[in-house]
Structure 1
């Protein structure tokens, strides 16, 4: 069932953006599927102007691609794309963890520990949208403490493209509990013990494990496509 847009609180554009983003990440729309404006207007009961603004935002997040002669479609990632993204992500997040352990000040370490408390408390029982928001805050704290603008800007682009895959990995059976343990290891190494090598390895291990789940899911979808 499509989400219901509330006519109060957040502006319509923000509500529709949140709902359509969640639908894409939850695979309500298949990779490569056209996003037809008229149908989206009916789905969310809003104007074409709102839908076009939302689609532009999702294009900037790499969740939607604009294809000549077809219009906006849900972004697709091949297995090779995914493998390459996780390889680069692992290297950069490993560097971010190491830099955090070396450079983060007291406030930044406290922010990461606070983000980890939310992970422990809420992550396993949260829905997809909330899980992604919790991880975004954790990574935001980690990258902020790394104090490297090139790492920050590069990872921002990689995380945008990986978001589709994260939607699959965080919902995989047992993955949530493993993610909590892995993020706790990152926090302990980077913010508590300030062990540069251990922080790098913990970050790299978390990405490697996520990659295994994502690639397996892509393989399963390739051999058993949805009807």
Structure 2
């Protein structure tokens, strides 16, 4: 095959489709179990089949998409058992990151984390779920970066992608936002005291509370199906 017959797709295009598809799954535009045929995705994102398939492969590796032989890609369905496993590992990693942040974060990182937390405090019941998820994502990016543990940062980052559907599920509960603000506030208070033990405990408590809400909703959906 000659080089002139090869179509080179710029990386930014692939990244845009990948990010767009991930956001559509996290926000609930594409629901668990939804079929994601090539033609529909090409029309949705205005790009070629090869770009769409590459994005699907990347999200399959993240656990957000499953590809069934002879049927194609579908949005992954998380079971109650999957959610329990994810939250258990997330609690351990998030506590480790919080402990590291309390010990090693710079003054600038602490100030930035407080500023993002204030955005969460300012959110209202009608704040779009996508905006809330963006705030939480930035909070975790700062927390892990300031932890000084590159391995924990990488592992938690990968897990939070897998956990994104569950975070959206827990935030769908009308009472969850004020609870989240209070729980994250406990994390911030412990960080400002530079207390790694209390920070780790507050991180674990937050994750366990989110897990309880998400698993309850998953159980209710399963019973109603």
TM-score by length of 2: 0.84
Distance 2:38 2:141 in 1: 33
Match for residue 224 of structure 1? Answer: 224
Q: Which runs of 5+ in 1 are unaligned?
A: 1-10
Distance 2:35 2:83 in 1: 21
Match for residue 4 of structure 2? Answer: none
Change in Cα spacing, 1:157 to 1:44, as seen in structure 2 (3 Å) is closer
2:201 equivalent to 1:206: no
Aligned length: 214
Distance 1:208 1:146 in 2: 21
Query: What is the DSSP-based 3-state SS (H/G/I as helix, E as strand, rest coil) of the residue aligned with 1:138?
Result: helix
Change in Cα spacing, 1:145 to 1:45, as seen in structure 2 (3 Å) is closer
1:28-177 aligned at under 5 Å gives the runs 28-44=29-45, 46-122=47-123, 124-177=125-178
Q: CA RMSD in A?
A: 2.2
Indicate if the aligned counterparts of 2:99 and 2:197 stay in contact, CA closer than 8 A: yes
Query: What is the DSSP-based 3-state SS (H/G/I as helix, E as strand, rest coil) of the residue aligned with 1:65?
Result: strand
Q: Which runs of 5+ in 2 are unaligned?
A: 1-11
Change in Cα spacing, 1:37 to 1:215, as seen in structure 2 (3 Å) is same
TM-score by length of 1: 0.84
Query: What is the DSSP-based 3-state SS (H/G/I as helix, E as strand, rest coil) of the residue aligned with 2:146?
Result: helix
Distance 2:90 2:50 in 1: 35
